[in-house]
Amino acid sequence: MSQSVLTSAAGVAAQAARRRTFAVISHPDAGKSTMTEALALHARVIGQAGAVHGKGDRKGVVSDWMAMEQQRGISVTSAALQFSYGDTVINLLDTPGHADFSEDTYRVLTAVDSAVMLLDAAKGLEPQTLKLFEVCRQRSIPVITFINKWDRPGHDALALMDEIEQRIGLKPTPLTWPVGIAGHFHGVIDRRTGVFTRMQRSPGGADLAIEEEMGDAEAAERYGAEWVTANEELELLEMTGADHDQGTFLAATSTPVLFGAAVANLGVRQLLNILVELAPPATARPTVSGTDQPVESGFSGFVFKIQANMNKAHRDQVAFMRICSGRFERGMVVTHAGTGRPFTTKYAQQVFGQGRDTIDEAYPGDVVGLVNATALGIGDTLYADKPVQYPPLPSFPPEHFAVCRTSDTGAYKRFRRGIEQLDGEGVVQVLRSELRGDGLPVLAAVGPMQFEVASFRLEAEFGVKVHLDRLPYEIAAVTDAEGQELLRGESQVEVMTRVRDGALLAVFAHRWRMRTVAGRHPGLRLDAPLDAGL
């Protein structure tokens, strides 16, 4: 396209229509990072999948760039990957599944247009899966469900469909249906075309699966009773009206379902094609004023994640921005909506896991990494031309608190710099306690594994070994200066200052203690400290 077309409203709208921006979400160990790799493999942007299972020979997947993730084989932070598939631009966000990192996952969900939910065929709906489904439904995020690990023993396919409908309230509408029970997977039938595709794992499982379309007669002869059973189940689905409806899918009241095995690259091609065909492109997004910002209007975007030290060779900070409208050009001067100050986007990059390439332009739906953007915080809006501001991002109230200390007095400056970095990224919240002073910050977290990440990164990235002393608190509420004075004489209560914004947080040993204290002081201000986004 010519430059004039690309910069026109119609050109921007056309570019937005090419984008598919989605998150891969699930309960821990359901295969998110493996699926991320498999999708990239099918788009031919990597040569081999990096997930090689088995102790001692597991390679790090491209989306797991942090040393802690590679050592443990788990994802503890979200990661962005952008690549092309045919004429479509894919913006894929891999998320951590562990509940301790829910805040990171939920922030990512504000930056996507749809989600791929993985279900473990053997485990079905797990607690974190239920929560994520509910969040997607409340935020009207369309969800495509992928029943993963069908090459291993698991639940009955129809039973899984019933579980989704009964426990979540979303109507499952399978687009593919497996031939063979879980653990004896032969391939899938496309419900819309009736075509059966036989699937076979490639040698070693790191390359594309071997696929072959097979006629009904040949499939019936080869698979016998399993073929008959699959077709009987298809008839039941047709009788119950479990057919895909694009309107209910986009309204987040139904979920298309596919079957496969990400680690063996089975069914992944079908998922990628369905994402291109059915997942919504970038569209107008709501603003704090109550209006929707059209994609073809002037440039705007918001920061949903900040990450530092992704690459030891760079040692810089990257702010991940979701572009909501207009054409982004590297070097353009935009306005920070919160401060009204100008911001120059000189260093802009396309991110692929740990790898990064400089980009010159991007469009609605794209995720851009702004390098060394230390003036930006999570949730900040940037715009050009007419002012616009997007809603603040959801956060979770902390339930775990610990004093962070280092015995290495020579590392104090690095210690403070590391603590400030972790606070800015939202890895933990940092609180200042009058009882302990600036030298002993208090870390507040949703889950205890966040403390492990904080300790690991302080040592790995800043060379500072720390010790965490857990505090006996498990609930926090916002108070004010008057409340701070009222609470000074109370036991099992402490008021601390949140460093990020100066808010006063009253922390209590437990919920019962908070209620008792509130009953004794009727005028005491105790507000929910954060919006949990639920």
Domain residue spans of the chain:
19-278, 285-383, 400-520
pLDDT band at 427 (very low <50, low <70, confident <90, very high): confident
Give 49-108 pLDDT, tens digit per residue.
443 333 333 344 444 445 554 455 444 456 788 889 999 999 998 877 545 556 777 888
Structural tokens at position 441: 């910050």
Does 229 carry a binding-site annotation?
no
314 has pLDDT over 70: no
Lowest mean pLDDT among 347-351, 411-415, 488-492, 510-514: 347-351
478 has pLDDT over 60: yes
Does 95 carry a binding-site annotation?
yes
Does 98 carry a binding-site annotation?
yes
Does 96 carry a binding-site annotation?
yes
pTM for this model (two decimals): 0.82
Name the more confident of 528 and 463. Answer: 463
Q: What is the pLDDT of residue 214?
A: 96
Give 17-52 pLDDT, tens digit per residue.
999 999 998 887 888 888 988 888 887 776 554 433
Q: Do domains 285-383 and 400-520 have the same CATH topology?
A: no
Does 385 carry a binding-site annotation?
no
Q: 292-293 and 361-362 as β-strands: parallel, antiparallel, unpaired?
A: unpaired
Handedness of CA 125, 126, 127, 129 (dihedral sign): negative
312 has pLDDT over 70: no
Q: Which of 534, 474, 479 is nearest to 505 (CA)?
A: 479
Could you please state the CATH topology (level 3) that the domain comprising 19-278 is classified under: Rossmann fold (3.40.50)
The CA distance from 40 to 438, in Å, is 45
Count the Cβ atoms, other than its own, within 10 Å of residue 291: 10
The CA distance from 145 to 508, in Å, is 40
What's domain 285-383's architecture?
A: 3-Layer(aba) Sandwich (3.40)
CA dist 486 → 108, 333, 520, 528 (Å)? 39, 48, 10, 18
Q: What is the pLDDT of residue 315?
A: 59
Homologous superfamily (CATH) for 400-520:
Peptide chain release factor 3, domain III (3.30.70.3280)
Share of the chain above pLDDT 70, in %: 87
State the chain's mean pLDDT as an integer.
Answer: 86
Q: Are the CB atoms for 245 and 172 separated by under 8 Å?
A: no
Structural tokens at position 75: 């994802």
Query: Which DSSP state fits 264?
Result: G
Q: Are the CB atoms for 412 and 462 separated by under 8 Å?
A: no
